[in-house]
Amino acid sequence: MPAAPLPADVAERIATLRRELDHHSRLYYELDAPVLPDAEYDRLFRELQSLEDQYPESRSPDSPTQRVGGGRLDEFEPVIHVVPMLSIRTETETGPAGATAFDARIRRDLALGPEDPPVEYNAELKYDGLAISLRYEDGVLVRAATRGDGQTGEDVTRNIRTIRRIPLRLKLSEPPAVLEVRGEVYMALAEFEAFNRRAEAGGEKLLVNPRNAAAGSVRQLDSAITARRPLSFFAYGLGEVAGWPLPGTQSGILDALAAAGLPVCDERTVAHGGEALAAFHSRVGERRASLPFEIDGVVYKVNSLALQARLGFVTREPRFAVAHKFPPEEGVTEVLGIEVQVGRTGALTPVARLRPLFVGGVTVTNATLHNEDEVARKDVRVGDTVVVRRAGDVIPEVVRVVPGDGLRAEPFRMPDRCPVCDSLAAREEGEAARRCVGGLFCEAQRKQALLHFASRRAMDIEGLGEKIVDQLVDQGLVRTPADIYSLTRESLASLERMGDRSAENLVAAVDRSRRTTLQRLVFALGIRNVGESTARDLARHFGDLPPIVEASQEALMTVPDVGPVVARSIREFFDQEHNREVVTALSAAVQWERIAVESVPRPLAGVTFVLTGTLPTLTRDEARAKIEQAGGKVAGSVSAKTHYVVAGAEAGSKLEKAQSLGIHILDEAGLLELLRQHDKSLSAIAKETQ
């Protein structure tokens, strides 16, 4: 059947649909601010698709319909790169010296003397994906090719068209005849993880890592598969160019590409000299773990194209650029065993013992498996080959098992008894961790409790570290925190590698810790759910240790921010006979300042406020913090128990209710006045106690 001729109104409708769909796609994918419901987008899309089917001559390579993919290829066609796709040299030095060594080479090659000014560079990220060349002719994407061997790549146009962030048409009113853009296709980490979560739920194959995911997706023979992979792109350079006013610098090229609608990463800088490059390297290194995509280093390029040309090439690598890498964050190794460690609160943590692996800049021999559900989810077994990740300063973790073809060990089973003290290890409802119920009878918990007790923010006993605590407990010299205060130079002398001097220092540090604050002491006890700030609140509220030990759960709940869970943890702790014994012994060994409860300035104690509407200067949180600081409470709704309602602009039903109940209403100024009185009483107390 011959194709119907294209009527003018249909052509116009097609143009409108393409414009609309492009616009909404940009809002969705680039600006992350969609305005059109998905269903409406799909409706417009299908309308365009059916018009293009009806009038095949209307088809155009820059139509949004070209992004869906579909149709299988037997192989990719070869593409010859007129301007070869080069690779760059990797700097051998990994530290800051890598940057200065590169700068020194450049200065030497440019025959610059010490008096000459620093060389200007453009510093960029080294994205970890797949290199691609995009060819735009008269502003329209006509071909996309992989790097291949640098001279000949593969035609992956249909796959690349499915990547929404790659414009099918440049945003230029007078597009150049030819513009080849080079850059990296990658998969953002969040997209990678979301994809794998979906794949896992659907029982499909998981992607191994973001880089393989990007490379594998681009090289799919079926572009419908590529279309389902959430890929992105960053432009970093140029290939063949005709009819385009070429900027004189690399930074200028990137700006121009961004202006033409290509995605260009903002994390780049123009830097002068090697020191500035080293600073960029370390700044990016620190931020690496929090970037939304993976990088394996940074790239430095001499900024001026004229200087680039002067520097030329060595074999097939340009002299003007270098890749300065970071240590890899992921590696593959073998699980030698799975051990279970017991933490301070008795939580059992499965830990994989690994064949040593250099990853993230350190040698890793252990990696956490978090908890039993995680082990089961990842199905990690002894003897498995696993991917281990250490990003930034976080604890190394086992990411996943690399499927092998051999026989595997039995699935790991979490013990139901504590591996250290053999007490029952039970799992409470809603908790991920199994916990040993042995408490301080459990040696592991005892050691952890002692380390916590001595830690800097608790009793601050310098020198009482892991090695010493291990020995003290193993030799039976210390059982509870209170025993620390009976240590003498003589008793310490029996420890390994403990000279007279160290023993003396440790005893002195223990003595120094005898004078402390109630807050530190309460925190040091290591009560579950009682961190530093709760310890401070308890100290301020009760003023001394005995009232805390005796307080009922209800009394504890009158302390700001102490809810039923925390109150129960505190009560359970002090209900244990051995904990009370420890507290009694400690009370004899240490002194803390008692806080006269009356003198704690809490003029608004027992006063309940409700905040409503927008205050002129304070945010809700600021107003709440000020009230709570003065001892007041902020409730969510107005009732007969409310003392004050603080109302700002556009206060609604809460204000009405307050009026109907005859509750006192304050504006922001009124609240601040109330708080000022609180300040006055504070300074009055301070004077009295001087």
* Distance in Å, CB of 146 to ligand IVH, minimum: 10
Applying CB under 6 A, the span of 80-88, 153-161, 429-437, 574-582 interacting with ligand IVH comes to 80-88
In three-state secondary structure terms, 658 is helix
Please report how close the Cβ of residue 290 comes to ligand IVH at its closest, in angstroms: 19
* Per-residue x/- track, 88-117, ligand IVH (CB under 6 A): x-----------------------------
Is residue 651 near ligand IVH by the rule CB under 6 A?
Answer: no
* Residue 263, both tokens: 């995605």
Distances (CA, A) of 264 to 26, 202, 235, 385: 15, 34, 5, 37
Block residue for tokens 């806080």: 595
| Least Å from the CB of residue 377 to ligand IVH | 33
Q: Is 127 in the site for ligand IVH (CB under 6 A)?
A: yes
In the list 236, 300, 412, 609, the residue contacting ligand IVH (rule: CB under 6 A) is 236
Q: Is 170 in the site for ligand IVH (CB under 6 A)?
A: no
CB 51, min distance to ligand IVH, A: 38
| Pairwise CA distance, residues 501 & 486, whole Å | 18
Q: Of residues 295-314, which lie at the interface with ligand IVH (CB under 6 A)? A: 299
Q: Classify residue 527 by burial, with Cβ atoms within 10 Å: 0-12, 13-18, 19+.
A: buried
Per-residue contact flags (x/-) with ligand IVH for residues 183 to 202, judged by CB under 6 A: -x------------------
Q: Is 633 a catalytic residue?
A: no
Q: Which residues contact 640 (CB under 8 A, 6 or more apart)?
A: 661
Cα 181 from Cα 145, distance rounded (Å) = 11
Report d(CA 270, CA 615) in Å as an integer: 44
Pairing of strands 664-666, 434-436: unpaired
- Count of residues engaged in binding ligand IVH, rule: CB under 6 A: 15
Beta pairing, strands 269-272 & 317-318: unpaired
State the nearest-atom distance from the C-beta of 250 to ligand IVH, in Å. 9
| 321 part of the interface to ligand IVH, by CB under 6 A | yes
Site for ligand IVH in 237-256 (CB under 6 A): 237
481 near ligand IVH, judged by CB under 6 A: no
| Buried-exposed string 621-646: b where 16+ CB fall within 10 A, e elsewhere | eebbebbbebbbbbeeebeeebebbb
Pick from 21, 86, 530, 538: which binds ligand IVH (CB under 6 A)?
86
| Binding of ligand IVH by 224 (CB under 6 A) | no
Torsion of CA 16, 22, 23, 29, to 10 degrees: 160
User: Which of these segments, 81-89, 269-277, 610-618, 629-637, binds ligand IVH (CB under 6 A)?
Assistant: 81-89
Min dist. Cβ of residue 400 to ligand IVH (A): 25
Amino acid letter for position 212: N
d(CA 167, CA 162): 10
Q: Which helix (H) or strand (E) holds 108?
A: helix 97-109
Least distance between ligand IVH and beta carbon 170 (Å):
20
In this chain, which stretch among 49-57, 119-127, 222-230, 468-476 interacts with ligand IVH, using CB under 6 A?
119-127
Here the tokens at position 504 are: 């003396």
Residue 120 beta carbon to ligand IVH: minimum distance, rounded to whole angstroms: 17
Q: Which is nearer to ligand IVH, 147 or 541 (CB)?
A: 147
Rounded to whole angstroms, the Cα distance separating 236 from 519 reads: 55
CB of 236 to ligand IVH, least distance (A): 4
Q: Considering beta carbons, is residue 266 or 621 the nearer one to ligand IVH?
A: 266
Angle at the Cα of 479 (from 532 to 495), degrees rounded to 5?
105
Distance (Å, whole) CA 145 – CA 155: 5
Catalytic position from the list 126, 325, 447, 633:
126
Applying CB under 6 A, the span of 6-14, 122-130, 349-357, 609-617 interacting with ligand IVH comes to: 122-130
C-alpha to C-alpha distance for 380 and 384, rounded to whole angstroms = 7
Say whether residue 360 binds ligand IVH (CB under 6 A).
Answer: no
Out of 67, 126, 324, 434, point to the residue binding ligand IVH (CB under 6 A): 126
Which of 98, 210, 239, 318: binder of ligand IVH (CB under 6 A)? 318
Residue 251 burial by Cβ neighbours in a 10 Å radius (0-12, 13-18, 19+): buried
CA distance 546 to 549: 5
Find the length of the chain.
690
Among 87, 152, 385, 553, binds ligand IVH (CB under 6 A): 87
Per DSSP (E only), the strands in 230-310 are 232-242, 269-272, 295-302
Point out which residues bind ligand IVH (CB under 6 A): 86-88, 124-127, 131, 184, 236-237, 299, 318, 321, 323
Q: Which residues are known to be catalytic?
A: 126
